[in-house]
Amino acid sequence: MKIYIINGANLNLLGKREPDIYGTDMLDSINNAITEEAAELGLDCEFFQLNHEGDIIEKLHEACENADGVVLNAGAYTHYSYAIRDAIKAIRKPVIEVHLSNVHAREDFRQISVIASVCRGTIAGFGKTSYVLALHALKDIL
């Protein structure tokens, strides 16, 4: 099974950007942990980090034809991108929303997700383990 791992805006700065909130793991380290777990689960992951909203939408559209499911950390787009929300709904593939930090314990605007209602589920607050848990969730529902 093919799983797209899509990371949104500013996630290329992990390890440098606010390590007290997002941790010290760089995106490559997170991707390596995902790859290891995916191999044990029999999943094939393809990784994308996209800073532009339209690029994320295009990748979701591509997932419609080329992936069985998606793990999505949309970053700040989570809180206001109705275009990404509509793309998730349109592709009719299971999408698991993930966040490194516990967004519900942060600023008020981060506690709102406009994509949650069209995602299969949300996992937040466990650092890179959020992604690993999302893989297990997808494996269970696919």
Q: What is the pLDDT of residue 19?
A: 84
pLDDT at residue 109 tops 80: no
Query: Minimal CA–CA distance to 129: which of 60, 3, 28, 37?
Result: 37
Q: 4, 52, 82, 99: which is the annotated catalytic residue?
A: 99
99 included as an active-site residue: yes
Q: What is the pLDDT of residue 92?
A: 93
Confidence grade of residue 33 (pLDDT, cut at 50, 70, 90): very high
pTM of the entire predicted model: 0.95
Q: What is the mean pLDDT of residues 59-64?
A: 98
Q: What is the pLDDT of residue 20?
A: 83
pLDDT at residue 110 tops 80: no
**Rounded CA separation 132/89 (Å):** 23
Place of tokens 């380290």: 29
Give the CA count within 13 Å in the CB-facing half-sphere of 79: 13
Q: 4, 22, 77, 131: which is the annotated catalytic residue?
A: 22
Alpha helix stretches (DSSP H) within the chain: 19-22, 27-41, 53-66, 82-91, 129-141
Query: Minimal CA–CA distance to 71: which of 142, 136, 137, 6?
Result: 6
Q: What is the pLDDT of residue 98?
A: 98
Tokens of 20: 């007290």
22 included as an active-site residue: yes
Q: What is the pLDDT of residue 116?
A: 97
Q: What is the mean pLDDT of residues 124-141?
A: 97
Q: What is the mean pLDDT of residues 5-17?
A: 95
**Rounded CA separation 5/34 (Å):** 9
Confidence grade of residue 52 (pLDDT, cut at 50, 70, 90): very high
